Amino acid sequence: MRSGFWTPRLAIDFKASDDALLFASVAQAKKPGGYASIGGGTLADKVFDEESMKIYEARAKTEWMYNRLQVNVAAHFQDFAKKQVQVVVINELTGLPTTKTVNATKTEVKGFEIDAIAAPNDNFSLTLGYTFNYAKYKNFKDITNPVSTVTRAGNCTVTTLVTRATTPTLPALEQNSCIIDYSGRRLEGAPKHNVQLGGEVRGDLGVGRNGLSTLKAVTSPAASPPLRTSLKFWHTGMSTCALACAPMAGASPAM
């Protein structure tokens, strides 16, 4: 396996006006391969290849209403080759389910996002963000045998695996397994919609003679100078992903 990678990145930006900045980039990323730590099987069964990804991105950052409103939009496309995926298999030595890293031949992730920050005055701001993310396997077949994985996947082509025994005097093991086709299904842990909403209140915190704090600056000449503070009064997010957010024991159907 290779110990070094070439991961180039090219980016360009253009200031269309004082209130608008355009940005585009293309990059390549890699993730080293390795060996699965499960028991049984041959060394070739445990090896997983390096993962590579090409990333294309375009962004626009804009300001409106004398910088009281900021609106940013972006679009992205990620093209994976041999994406590393965690699947559930049966450990041949213990007979118990365990996870194993395998490679999905081809995977794509594409979508867009938009976020806005509004500050109607110096003491209040509101943030809103939305992301649409469509992530699916273009070509991915795996051989597995846990019942839960087969049930969730909803398809199975039966095949017989012959595994050499760990002791030469013992006969080879034969086991029925399923070839599961995940092509066209969504990636695990990849919500299709994500919404973020938040706000912040800022104000002066004054301390008077009696030591009591108030949200309004104390007007007494003997009072201490007001302290500037802020309070993030709420921040929430919401995602829709159904089974896609669960650890992979089988990918969820495409939506």
What are 146-159's pLDDT values in tens digits?
A: 555 555 556 677 66
pLDDT of residue 159: 62
Note the pLDDT of residue 158.
61
pLDDT in tens, 111-129: 999 999 999 998 899 999 9
Q: Which of 162, 179, 182 is nearest to 171 (CA)?
A: 162
Give dist(CA 149, CA 250) in Å, integer: 5
178-194 pLDDT per residue, tens: 778 888 888 888 889 99
Nearest to residue 55, comparing CAs of 24, 33, 86, 85? 24
The pLDDT of residue 168 is above 70:
no
Report the percent of the chain where pLDDT is more than 90: 40
Between 231 and 190, the more confident residue is 190
Examine residue 3 and state whether it is found in any structural domain, yes or no. Answer: no
Decide if 205 is inside a domain.
yes
d(CA 83, CA 65): 44
Look up the domain containing 94 and give its range.
9-245
pLDDT given at position 75: 98
Residue 96's pLDDT is: 73
Residue-wise pLDDT tens digits, 245-254: 443 433 334 4
The verdict on residue 1 lying in a domain is: no
Please indicate, yes or no, if residue 252 is contained in any of the structural domains.
Answer: no
Q: Which residue has the tokens 């490679």?
A: 103
Instruction: Work out the angle at residue 97's Cα, subtended by the Cα atoms of residues 247 and 46, and round it to the nearest 5 degrees.
Output: 85
Q: How many CB atoms lie within 10 A of CB 90?
A: 19
What's the pLDDT tens digit per position in 53-91?
Answer: 999 999 999 999 999 999 999 999 999 999 998 887 767
Q: What is the pLDDT of residue 23?
A: 97
Return the pLDDT at 163: 56
How far apart CA 198 and CA 204 sit, in angstroms, is 21
Question: Is 254 within a domain?
Answer: no
Residue 82 lies inside a defined structural domain of this protein: yes
Q: How many domains does the chain have?
A: 1
CB neighbours of 254 closer than 8 A, spacing ≥ 6? 136, 184, 185, 186
> What's 219's DSSP letter?
-
145 band by pLDDT with thresholds 50, 70 and 90:
low
Considering the chain, what percentage of its residues have pLDDT values greater than 70? 60
Name the band, by pLDDT with cuts 50, 70 and 90, for residue 161: low
The pLDDT of residue 251 is: 39
Q: Which residues contact 11 (CB under 8 A, 6 or more apart)?
A: 23, 24, 25
Kindly state whether residue 92 falls inside one of the protein's structural domains: yes
DSSP secondary structure, 169-197, as one string: TSPPEEEEEEEEE-TTPBPTT--SEEEEE
Is 52 a member of any domain? yes
What band does 201 get if pLDDT is binned at 50, 70 and 90?
A: confident
